[in-house]
Amino acid sequence: MSLGDYCAGSNHVLPTAGCARHSSGLSVQTFLRGIHVVEYTEAALKDVSGHVITLATAEDLPAHGEAVRRRFER
């Protein structure tokens, strides 16, 4: 365990009760919060705006679609 913990990079804190099938061992990532950034150019957003509005409407989230639609009102 010492070699894995301090040098080799393996992890001895592993999930139990069959969870190892779908979960990794405990790591620094367990305690961090991920931040996702989405960046679109105006042209790219305009290209997909119809899809966004359609999906927002289908999910009964009209304000999401409206937020995109209003960006292109002029």
- 22-74 pLDDT, tens digit each: 666 677 887 888 888 888 899 999 999 999 999 999 999 999 999 999 999 87
**Cβ contact 24:30 at 8 Å:** no
Give 9's contacts (C-beta < 8 A, 6+ positions apart). Answer: none
The model carries a pTM of 0.54
| Domain positions in the chain | 1-33, 37-74
